[in-house]
Chains A and B, each alone.
Chain A
Amino acid sequence: MSNNSSDSDSSPGDWTTDSPMVSNPAESTYVESQVIMTTVRAVTPFSLTYGLFLMFHGADSPGGSFQGGAIIAATVLMIAFAFGVAPTREWLRNRTVVALAAGGTAAFALVGLVPMAFGDSFLAHPLFEEEFGINTKWGLEAIEVGGVAPIVAGVLVGLFFVLAAGMFRDGDATEPRTDGGAANHNRATRSRTGEEGSPTPSTGTEARTDDAGMPAEDTTTGTGGDR
């Protein structure tokens, strides 16, 4: 609460007050640009291919799955900047991002645990050759392509979308997030709740802080209005 009130109490001259604590400025500040959209349309096939090439060919040439995963994520970020964060976020479902990050970690651990099941050390790749006749190289490829690249791509894309969605501030839990951002400013929130007789009392800052701790329902219902 303390930082929030200091925001609203500071003199307007010190800040760019035109957009104070906007809830979804990534959407609201989005400007459709023909130049950027055309450029991104032309570049994304190549950057995605390059990312996949680095990922699959990293064992035999410079690069690797970390770089490949980062470039794949950067491709998604470029698309989001050209065509807006909101449509991209709806096109790329949460399940996909989580599956990439969590599945990559699980796959990495699984590849490491297989040699342990046969009594060798964690990630002892030569065991694959001794036990199954699989070239040692494929053990390394498995953790690079199946582990590192999905983790990096998933986490970077997820981080971007989480930052674009913004943080739940004290007013957010009671106010729909689609109110053009002004609802999140503390002064605006107070006046609105006072006028409309919202169930949240205008002076009940503690109650609002508690509400902010449970943003689960508001995330989906509140942002769904943007569509």
Chain B
Amino acid sequence: MTELFAAALFVFVLVTALATAALRDVLGVVVVFAAYSLGTALFYAFLLAPDVAMTEAAIGAGVTTLLLLLTLAKTVRPTPDQRLERPNLPALAVFGALFVVLVATVVEFPAVGEPGVMWDNPGVTQYYIENAYEDTGVENAVTAVLAGYRGFDTFGEAVVVFSAGIASLIVLRQVVFTRE
């Protein structure tokens, strides 16, 4: 049952990803991309990464889609002369090579949920798994890593998000986010 669900989800994500790349109509691409993002979020949840799944669902499927739709409403939308994008052969060749390399690494991973897997870097990953609660008092190990062990990285990310807000004001030549 779970295998069937995973296989169906995989096909769904694959089809929506291909449709995102192949479709010419921009509005169609935005809608299909949102579906792809939702499928990916389910996939992350299936792979026991609920934190990443929530981020993907909220940012990828939700907010990004709204922002892209808003951008489409603000601009003119060219009516596509054909339904599908013509494939670029050199790009396809590069993609094929990259695909082979990535698949070669994927088959080396241990199965999802396999018990007794020791990570190759016990000094880092295994340390977090074993000591995160004693060190930080936080039950969610992801939060312990993000806010504790890797707090400085998170600070950099937070500053990047803040800078993105400022940069959008500058690029769009506005001075305020909302009306006073």
Instruction: Count A-B pairs with CB separation below 8 Å.
Output: 204
Q: Which residue of B lies closest to A62 (CB)?
A: B50
CB distance from A140 to the nearest CB of B (A): 4
Contact status B139-A59, CB under 8 Å:
yes
Contact status A151-B162, CB under 8 Å:
yes
B:50-91 near A, CB below 8 Å? 50-51, 54-55, 58-59, 62-63, 66-67, 70-71, 73-79
B139-180 vs A, CB cutoff 8 Å, 1 = contact: the mask equals 110111011100110110011011011001101111111111
A81 neighbours in B (Cβ, 8 Å): 66
Q: Which of B5-13, B16-24, B117-125, B130-138 lies at the binding interface?
A: B130-138
Contact status A140-B50, CB under 8 Å:
no
CA–CA, A92 and B178, complex, Å = 7
The number of chain B residues touching the other chain, given as a range, is 35 or more
A90-B178, A140-B144 are known contacts. Are A125 and B70 too (CB-CB below 8 A)?
no
A1-39 vs B, CB cutoff 8 Å, 1 = contact: the mask equals 000000100000011110111100110010000000000
CB distance from B165 to the nearest CB of A (A): 4
CA–CA, A101 and B171, complex, Å = 18
B165 neighbours in A (Cβ, 8 Å): 101, 154-155, 158-159
Contact status B168-A215, CB under 8 Å:
no
CB distance from B108 to the nearest CB of A (A): 27
Contact status A26-B138, CB under 8 Å:
no
User: In the complex, which of the residues A20, A67, A89, A156 contacts B178, with contact meaning CB atoms closer than 8 Å?
Assistant: A89
Contact status A60-B139, CB under 8 Å:
yes
Contact status B63-A140, CB under 8 Å:
no
CB distance from A209 to the nearest CB of B (A): 12
Contact status B140-A62, CB under 8 Å:
yes
CB distance from A166 to the nearest CB of B (A): 5
A:44-73 near B, CB below 8 Å? 54, 58-64, 66-67, 70-71, 73
Contact status A64-B143, CB under 8 Å:
yes
B178 neighbours in A (Cβ, 8 Å): 89-90, 92-94, 97, 158, 161
Check if A216 is an interface residue, CB within 8 A of chain B: yes
Q: Which residue of B lies closest to A18 (CB)?
A: B76
Contact status A77-B177, CB under 8 Å:
no
A159 neighbours in B (Cβ, 8 Å): 67, 164-165, 168
A223 neighbours in B (Cβ, 8 Å): 179
Contact status B174-A219, CB under 8 Å:
yes
B143 neighbours in A (Cβ, 8 Å): 58-59, 64, 140, 144
B residues lining the A interface (CB < 8 Å)? 50-51, 54-55, 58-59, 62-63, 66-67, 70-71, 73-79, 135-140, 142-144, 146-148, 151-152, 154-155, 158-159, 161-162, 164-165, 168-169, 171-180
A residues lining the B interface (CB < 8 Å)? 7, 14-17, 19-22, 25-26, 29, 54, 58-64, 66-67, 70-71, 73-74, 77, 81, 89-90, 92-95, 97-98, 101-102, 104-105, 108-109, 112, 122-123, 125-126, 135-137, 139-141, 143-144, 147-148, 151-152, 154-168, 212-213, 215-216, 219-220, 223-224
